[in-house]
Amino acid sequence: MRNYKNVLLDPADCVLLVIDHQPQMYFGAEGKLRAQIMNAVKGLTKAAAIFQIPVVMTTVTANTFAGVMYDGVTNVFPGHQPIDRTSLNAWEDPRVRKAVADTKRKKIILAGMWTEVCVAFPALSAMEDGYDVYFVADACAGSSKEAHDTAVLRMVQKGASPLTWQAALLEFQRDWGDKITYAPVTALIKECGGVYGQGLAYAENFCGK
Catalytic annotation, residues? 118
Answer whether 17's CB lies under 8 Å from 109's CB. Answer: yes
Answer whether 106's CB lies under 8 Å from 130's CB. Answer: yes
Classify residue 87 as left (phi > 0), alpha (psi -120 to 50) or beta: beta
Answer whether 59's CB lies under 8 Å from 35's CB. Answer: no
Alpha helices of the chain — where are they, by DSSP H? 23-27, 34-50, 71-74, 94-102, 120-128, 145-157, 165-173, 179-192, 194-202
Answer whether 122's CB lies under 8 Å from 110's CB. Answer: yes
Q: At 16, is the secondary structure helix, strand, or coil? A: strand
| CA dihedral angle for residue 156, residue 31, residue 110, residue 24, rounded to 10 degrees | 130
